[in-house]
Structure 1
Amino acid sequence: MPLTPSDVDRFERARPRLEAIAYRLLGSAHEAQDVVQETFLRWHAADVDRIEVPEAWLTKVLTNLCLNQLTSARARRETYVGRWLPEPLLAGDPMLGPADTAEQRESVSYAVLTLMERLSPDERAVYVLREAFGYPHREIAEILDITEAASQQILHRARKHVELGKARSEIDQAAARRIVEEFLAAATSGRTDELVRLLTKDAIAIGDGGGKVPARTKGFEGAVAVAKFVWGLFKPAESKRAIVGGLPEIHAWAANGEPAVVAVVAGRVVAVMCLEVTAEGITACRMQANPDKLERATEQWAAASHGEPLLVM
């Protein structure tokens, strides 16, 4: 039976929530849109008049599609060129989803999305549904076909894995911009000691080029090593301009709720570096430079009011 306009409208009202769940589960906006579209096709094929709670039905279908995707993604990432990092979303992107609570903001941070790669698919699903969307364990159990007790145990394990690697403290957008401005000033000063001062002793720097943009497979560890890497990264060079296709304009921005450096060439986002910041300093610099993972960021950048760049390289 074909869907009525009311049935389509009901799905479209659910779409933003479904996309936000899928993005947190998959770490990819492109894949999130694909599974939401597949969920719509399942909705189209279903006898919707017999579905008692459409929102619960849609969430269950979407989550199980994501679990299947995560299982196959693990195999694909074993052959991925270099380090795999999530696709960043710039501030204001609706796919970031709810941000009313600290748990919701944290669950979509670039740092936590990276840490969630350590979780099993079930752990990731329970963590996202509970922490980001406040689903009770009873509903999570129904979605995943497990018991409530199992859901609680899985959440405990997931939280433990995430907490072990997390070193994040919340800061407001004004503070985030100041941090990025200080970071860029130090990176372009020619003095690595200024960068070392901003970094924690155990700071790390990792990048994802996807085999399309040069990026070291092994990250940099320690404040001095990270400072030298960052200094070299922001040192103007014709070879770098050739790789990105022009003069990069550098902006202070936010991505996934974290301070970020955004590099733009002729309106195209060519890199996003998310900075994980604690009270002790910058503890991680994670840079996404794979052009396949920056298409949505470019779309969002075109729609944003971003002003003049802080630096042109």
Structure 2
Amino acid sequence: MMKNYSKFLICFSVFFASFSFAQTLEAYILDKNTQEPLYGVSVYFDGTTIGTATNEEGKFYIKYKPSTNSPLVVSFIGYQTLLFNVRKLENGAKIYMTLKPQALGTVYLENDPWSRQKKLDIFKREFIGTSVEPFECRILNLDDIKLTYNPTTQKLNAYAEKPIIIKNKYLGYTVAYTMEDFEADLRLTTTGKVLTRSVYIEGATFYTELNKRVPRKYRKARELEFGQSVLYFMRSLARKQLTENGFQIFHKGFIVPPYKYFRITPKGEDTHVKFLTDKVVIVYDRFEKSFMTILDSDKEFVINKYGNYSPPRRISFGGVLGDKRLANTLPLDYGL
């Protein structure tokens, strides 16, 4: 069973504890139609812990490093989410937000045969994951999630007008997830069991700590999950540190030199990679087994300086890396 879990628009960035060389963006957010300032708009670097909100004048301030590579997300309930390259915004800029069109609903030629509870159980399984207990990672606003299942295509889709709020007591974060797309390609067995062929998820994430001081149990869980993450693998691949960081590569059952099937070319702050086969097996710390495949004819992808890769749909992971879900996901600035 192959699963693919991807993040929205290559949304990796880095959090800097010290802003000694940071720049500050000061801008305004207004309603496009009324020209009135919008209060309480969320402004953050996707996938990180760096964020703020607008004041009564629609004004916000946010600090960032010149090298920051994550999209700046502007999100407000009822309005279309915006993403910007922060380096292309000038101080004093006015950002205009547009109301979302009223949803008319999707028309299906056949009835959705599943109950909301059945669809919700599958959604939580594929979005949150099953590796931690439900009470340790739960969605606080389930009623805001709309779900549809098409029996002909066997695909489950989910939508949310508001950010999905997740309380993750396993890793110690509250996560606000602005979901743009969720599609689970399912397969029903003759016994009625629902299996998953693949999952694609797009969205923007913002993390906040549950506690001002991070307890030891959170630190241990974060270290464990980081070592078993796609982010760690991609950083190691780009830096040619696979062996040093505990990764082994296998091809058709045999261990091979780690970069035999990866042609790695640094270009500025990015790393361009050409995958020279269809599939490799990745073993981490001798026992954690995963596989990576690219079935497209175009087998090239790019890893940015923080470990994010693009395009996200091109690469599929299975095994340990493929089974990771939001309950296991750290801020993209973790470890930097």
The alignment's TM-score, normalised by the length of structure 2, stands at 0.24
The alignment's TM-score, normalised by the length of structure 1, stands at 0.25
**Greater share of strand:** 2
